[in-house]
Chain A
Amino acid sequence: MKRDILYGVMAEFKTPTELVEAARATEHAGYKKFDAYSPFPIEELSDAVGFHKNGVPLVVLIAGIIGCLSGYALQYWISVIAYPINVGGRPMHSWPSFVVVTFEVTILFAGVSAVLGMLALNGLPMPYHPVFNVPRFALASKDRFFLIIFYSDPKFDLASTTKFLQAMGPRSISEVPG
């Protein structure tokens, strides 16, 4: 735990365009560990910060398949195996009647997994985070755009990194304590 030392250096921008350019520049400069914060989703930003593999769809797919199978299995087991009983002269395994519930369970599993998966992959909930130590970061949920280069980046060096950020003409630069 590097509690005493830095978490990173953060630059504040006024427009999404500046932020996206800054991010691209940062990646260009060879920085690996950095991130950008914006008050609303910016398509260009994610690959600007070098984020490419998004795990959510896979999670949802798997959950959906599981839901589908378990939904049908449940009904089959109950009506054919657990307590087979003649209902209105229909066969025990009246599959057409089982379609609806199977579908609903599929959706349920997939939907829930989409939300939980997203949160999990994002590492949320995380009420405490170093970036919140920066007072102006509160604006990140309003109208300001932030770029942070992490201390953990091999290329990180307080002086040079700060200078590097300065070059992009941000509103302000602040050191983020760990």
Chain B
Amino acid sequence: MSEPNKVESGLVQAPVIEPGHTFATVTDQISSIVLTRPVSNGWVFGFGLSFLLTMGMLYAIGYLFIKGVGIWGVNIPVGWGFAIVNFVWWIGIGHAGTLISAILLLLRQSWRNSINRFAEAMTLFAVSCAGLFPILHLGRPWLAYWLFPIPNTMQYWPQFRSPLVWDVFAVSTYATISALFWFIGLIPDLATLRDRTDNRGLKIVYGMLAMGWRGSARHWARYETAYLLLAGLATPLVLSVHTVVSFDFAVGIVPGWHTTIFPPYFVAGAIYSGFAMVLMLAIPIRKFYGLEDFITERHLENSAMVMLATGLIVGYGYVIEAFMNWYAGDPNEGFVLWNRLHGPYALSYYALLFCNLVLPQVLWIRKFRVKPFWLFLISLDILVGMWLERFVIVVVSLHRDFLTSSWGMYYPTRWDWMTYIGTIGLFLSLMFLFVRILPMISIFEMRTLLPEAEVKSE
């Protein structure tokens, strides 16, 4: 295992784990959060609030099913509104989890060990939020299963040239793989919890989930291989998922959609917003659960750097997009840019440029990279910006396309908002539950970071 406490690349960095920890302390401190720590009022309040929002969402969905998508702001020409914007936004957020757990694993970035667990959890929850929207936005949601190749008495099948079908496969695969990845990562820790708790009931539950894991050397060997392979598979997968999502637009002929830059710039954007979300979760969590020892400045700073980097890629995407609008020499393409800059939705475009391009540049300054408070705000700003980016792509492109006669406007209704905010509630509720019932930091991987984990060969 790499030497985490070494001084890397000349400049002094905080360690990934504060000194003075042993196998025992690490194990106890993390598992105690789940096993012994009493439920705090803060938790109850936070969970209650987000649960309330979730209920709001369910209400909105119920009304949607009874009345139809007409309760939303969508129309002709703007056939896609909040639903798709939110879908892309959530999927994007999900990406950071996989990136941290898979890609950083392959890159042997051991600092990931303390954040990958809840990052992966975040991925799962984000994906489930995202997964709702494509179904809800259907005119006849109860027929969503027609998008899967299920044998049927009509002998009729999905149409595989449609990016939406690609989406179905990409997203469901992504969800499955992430879930598995997350689960096998949990097995050894479940075993730990099984052995730590004194509550018989819990012992059985954790015991079942641990599947009788006993840490045999052979098991560990296969385990590591499988874990590594999974990471190797998840890496192209995660890249493909947002690429496919970008195809939803890039394959269309709508000016503002039909762009080759989309795949890379969507993926970068996804990681961008994903890390923002990671930080927005990590910062409060490490504070409330006193995990500063495990989630150190080092993690904050590294995440900030990733955001800075991806942010610049996204910026490049904007530039190229604008350039192509001009360079294409096509009046419709050209008008897209004009419309973004001067059209009725110009404000959203300027706002997104500020949120995604201008403000995050402060991350060049170290202070903003390590000070949780600032980082939290910047992350928030980025999340808003990335949401706006999708809004601009989906709505602003659609509302004025080829025939001037069919131009229109899009105004979200209260149902749009209820559903969107509702999913945020759902996401948080799941997060709250997660930190209470599962170790939010991978205990066994933390152990490997300890000096005493070294096998000294004489």
Contact residues of A with B, CB < 8 Å? 15-17, 20, 23, 35-46, 48-49, 51, 54-57, 60, 74-75, 78-79, 82-83, 87-88, 90, 94, 97-98, 100-101, 103-105, 107-108, 110-112, 114-115, 117-119, 121-122, 124-129, 131-132, 137-143
Contact = CB atoms under 8 A, between A and B. Distances in A.
A143 B24 contact: yes
Contacts of A23: 217
Given A35-B218, A41-B448, A126-B212, 7 more contacts: A39-B192, A60-B233, A83-B155, A100-B166, A105-B173, A114-B230, A127-B212
B173 A108 contact: yes
A100 B170 contact: yes
**8 tightest Cβ-Cβ pairs between the two chains A and B:** A143-B23, A125-B211, A118-B226, A126-B212, A46-B221, A138-B195, A41-B220, A104-B169
Contacts of B229: 56-57, 60, 110, 114
B217 A40 contact: no
Contacts of B157: 78-79, 82-83
Interface of B: 22-24, 27, 149, 155-161, 165-166, 169-170, 173, 176-177, 180-181, 183-184, 188, 191-192, 194-196, 207-208, 211-226, 229-230, 233-234, 236-237, 240, 244, 247, 444-445, 447-448, 452-457
Contact of B216 (A35, A97, A104, A132): A35
11 contacts: A16-B455, A37-B215, A56-B225, A82-B155, A97-B161, A104-B173, A117-B226, A118-B223, A122-B219, A125-B211, A143-B24
Best-surrounded residue of B158, B161, B196, B456 (most CB of chain A within 10 A):
B161
B95 to A, nearest CB: 15
Contacts of B158: 78
B227 to A, nearest CB: 8
B455 A103 contact: no
Given A88-B161, A94-B161, A111-B233, A48 B217 contact: yes
A41 B224 contact: yes
**What DSSP secondary structure best describes chain A's contact surface?**
helix
A23 B218 CA distance: 13
Best-surrounded residue of A42, A90, A141 (most CB of chain B within 10 A):
A141
B149 A74 contact: yes
B289 to A, nearest CB: 20
Nearest to A131: B214
Best-surrounded residue of B184, B216, B447, B454 (most CB of chain A within 10 A):
B216
Contacts of B216: 35-37, 122
A140 B452 CA distance: 16
B217 A118 contact: no
A39 B444 contact: yes
B292 to A, nearest CB: 22
Contacts of A117: 226
Nearest to B448: A40
A35 B181 CA distance: 26
Nearest to A140: B215
